[in-house]
Structure 1
Amino acid sequence: MDFSAVIVAAGSGLRAGPGESKTWRRLGGKPVLRWSVEAFAAAGARQIAVVISPDRLEFAPAVLEGLSGWTLVPGGVTRAQSVRSGLAALHLGEAVLIHDAARPFVGAAHIERLIAALANAEGALPALPVADTLKRGDGLVSETVSREGLWRAQTPQAFRRAALDSALASWPAHEEPTDDAVMVERVGGRVVLTPGDPMLMKLTYPEDFAMAERLAGGQRLMRIGQGVDAHRFGPGDSVWLCGVEVAHSQGMIGHSDADCGLHALTDAVLGAIGAADIGAHFPPSDPQWKGAASHQFLSHAMGLVAARGGRVINVDVTLICERPKIGPHREAMRARIAEIMDLPVDRISVKATTTEGMGFTGRQEGLMAQAVVTVETPS
């Protein structure tokens, strides 16, 4: 039986926590949405309607680059409206599978079982028996509910196209279905259960992503990046170091705010992911960076790490100078770096040393910074 698919990815995913919507976050080095589209394309779907938020229509083609057979469809306010829009874009296939993009580990075996089950049914869905004891109550338990005969429904859910279209046409417009199968059930259609799979987990909460990353099976690499920066002293009454303004008898000479600490740290982050250096991203010849605050450079580097599905593990910065004294400002510097990089303070180290009067720092002609970072990324 030939089939097409609707992949629903138009939700906001607010429960997944701050940051990018869950459909567009990276998992195992690629966006969550791409996992499902790849699976249905590999399983032989004749058409794939990818239903997404209208504000993502321009962004999605880059995410799905290299895959074929998909069509982008703007989603509706509710999931049911999004499913209807997706179905309207399909005109091939005796069967249709409807899948939540937030379940990225769908595979060919799941799809094959569902298609086979439609030989004697109008609908089929994977389901797992409820294993936990069920309680009803609101803060206080009022009842223990029998789990006998109860199942956890998953997606994809498969239907004979004619049966689903008929069920949709009779469904009350004011009522929101809890899933797609319930519409076929209500009109008397036969819906069967196929073996569910814990791998068909749904990404809902922040902790789900940590588990999914492990299940993705992608090897994670630990990368080390190093950065070095130096600037001369010049006219002024303060210097910027690690995002903190420190009073001093001189200022620093530089195109931006000449923050050696953040410059070295930015280069370390860029180096860890092989993304050139700070000058390549923010050329000193570009007037827009004249006097710029260096936290912008570090935030940019952190964005590049996140775009690759990576994360910074820890940071170690060493400031080399005779003056100003770093000790009184160390904790403020750690706190500021932690804020910029969105890391716990205990992962940030700021140290200081001198060269015992030797070299340009010893002669107090300028100061220098070195930084080392550890970054974890997908292989």
Structure 2
Amino acid sequence: MTCAAIIVAAGSGVRARRTSDAVAKQYVPLAGKAVLCRTIETFLTSDAIDLIVTVIAQEDLDLYKNAVAPLLQGKLAEQAQKKLRTSVRGGTTRQASVLCGLRALEKDSIDTVLVHDAARPFISHAILDRCRIALHSHKACLVAVPVTDTIKQATPEGRIQKTIDRSSLWAAQTPQAFAFDFIYDAHTRAAQQCAETFTDDAAVAEWAGAEVHIVEGDPTNIKLTNREDLDMADARLNSLQGSTSPLTDVRMGTGYDVHAFDAGDAVIIGGIQIPHDKKLKGHSDADVGLHAITDAILGAIADGDIGTHFPPSDPQWKGTASDLFLKDAVRRVRERNGKISNIDLTLICEAPKIGPHRPAMRQAIADICEISINRVSVKATTSERLGFTGRKEGIAAMASTCIQLPDRED
């Protein structure tokens, strides 16, 4: 019995993006490997799986190639060449993407197929084995775990109506496993009849008249939905790789930046625009706050400064939004499997008034750096009318940051 796997990776993963540059969660690195790479790796090394098709968004082709490169070039290269098919372009919905994957397998002699979300990298060989065994007796199977939390039904206003009996409730996971011909026909008919509101493939199977059999899942087979999930996954993988205290190398960094005023009507500080009778002069957008933070992060990891990576002599950076510089510094921390523990920014100026804009600055910085707002401090002070800031000729900024990296011998 030939069993194929369809890995659905065509979504945008908005809620779980840890960067602001539109990289979907399936391409975010976890302990050095992309989420998608880790997911595919389990299927690749499973004896239960014979072929693998990954469904991706067309614009993510380069991201996909980079994500699977470790599989094609490492110790699993031979298995990857044998099992991993060319990626397939997905549709506008998950349901449409699954059908694209099924069509890609149409000419193969496939008996059964498992459909799995790319954002579940902790799928185990044991679950895959249980799915394949279950398909000997059932044509539609759903991996699921019993609901353990108390479930309440509430009104739209938030008033509890009743407590639901959870004894017969199950939380669906993936993979979902099917006889290939059955689920291909079911998906095809659903598309032809414009039945496009199904939330998973088991629902398509139910609509097509099949009895769906539950296969025991695993509570650790979580779907990565938000940033916190990614952080927990990072910690778990670091722990599994043998480090009981994975981020024990604590680094401190400081940054300082100055920009003069120029004719204008607004300044950009801390990632937000503040109306003012002047602007800040600089090669980029002159965001003095983000520049100081960027240099603090780069200093903590001993990786130069803004000028090293984005020289002002290079015309391509003229007028660039400074969040690009900070995102790059954050990326460099991620590539070292590290995390930003906190950021402390102090702005020194007579005007404009920083206080009213502090919450927005904290949120903008937190979003760019992919950390909680509770880890970002923004303060403001004056120089008591002394020096260039006291004369209202410009703004200075000082930043400090704490970075945690995996401990290792230099």
TM-score, normalization: structure 1? 0.73
**Inter-partner Cα distance in structure 1 for 2:15 and 2:258:** 46
> For 1:75, which of 90, 94, 99 is the aligned residue?
90
Partner of 2:39: 36
Whether 1:46 aligns to 2:50 is: yes
Q: Which moved more, 1:263-272 or 1:40-49?
A: 263-272
> For 2:200, which of 160, 179, 191 is the aligned residue?
179
Partner of 2:125: 108
Instruction: Tell me if the contact between 2:255 and 2:294 (Cα under 8 Å) persists in the aligned partners.
Output: no
Whether 1:96 aligns to 2:108 is: no
What secondary structure sits across from 1:119 in the alignment? coil
CA apart distance, 1:164:
2.8
Instruction: Tell me if the contact between 1:229 and 1:370 (Cα under 8 Å) persists in the aligned partners.
Output: yes
**Inter-partner Cα distance in structure 2 for 1:137 and 1:261:** 45
- For residues 213-260 of structure 1, the C-alpha deviation after alignment (integer angstroms, 9 at most, x for no partner) is 444445345542434668899x99xxx99779999xxxx999779888
CA apart distance, 1:315:
3.1
Number of aligned residue pairs: give it.
367
Instruction: Tell me if the contact between 2:27 and 2:63 (Cα under 8 Å) persists in the aligned partners.
Output: no
Give unmatched runs, 5+ long, in structure 2: 72-79, 240-245, 368-372, 384-394
CA apart distance, 1:181:
3.1
Whether 1:150 aligns to 2:169 is: yes
> What percent identity do the matched residue pairs reach?
38
**Inter-partner Cα distance in structure 2 for 1:58 and 1:189:** 38
Instruction: Tell me if the contact between 1:295 and 1:340 (Cα under 8 Å) persists in the aligned partners.
Output: no
Partner of 1:192: 213
**Structure whose CA Rg is larger:** 1
- For residues 34-91 of structure 1, the C-alpha deviation after alignment (integer angstroms, 9 at most, x for no partner) is 2211111121433221112222223321122122314211111222221111011122
Whether 1:341 aligns to 2:374 is: no
CA apart distance, 1:121:
2.3
Partner of 1:362: none
- For residues 185-207 of structure 1, the C-alpha deviation after alignment (integer angstroms, 9 at most, x for no partner) is 55565643221211122233555
Instruction: Tell me if the contact between 2:28 and 2:35 (Cα under 8 Å) persists in the aligned partners.
Output: yes
Instruction: Tell me if the contact between 1:9 and 1:101 (Cα under 8 Å) persists in the aligned partners.
Output: yes
Give unmatched runs, 5+ long, in structure 1: 355-366
Partner of 1:364: none
What secondary structure sits across from 1:120 in the alignment? coil
Whether 1:86 aligns to 2:110 is: no
**Inter-partner Cα distance in structure 2 for 1:184 and 1:231:** 63
Instruction: Tell me if the contact between 1:49 and 1:86 (Cα under 8 Å) persists in the aligned partners.
Output: yes
Cα–Cα, structure 1 residues 210 and 267, in superposed 2: closer, same or farther, change >3 Å? Answer: closer
Over the residues paired in the alignment, what is the CA RMSD in angstroms?
A: 4.8
**Inter-partner Cα distance in structure 2 for 1:61 and 1:194:** 32
> For 2:144, which of 122, 127, 146 is the aligned residue?
127
Instruction: Tell me if the contact between 1:51 and 1:82 (Cα under 8 Å) persists in the aligned partners.
Output: yes
Instruction: Tell me if the contact between 2:362 and 2:378 (Cα under 8 Å) persists in the aligned partners.
Output: no
CA apart distance, 1:269:
1.1
> For 1:315, which of 343, 367, 378 is the aligned residue?
343
**Inter-partner Cα distance in structure 2 for 1:229 and 1:142:** 56
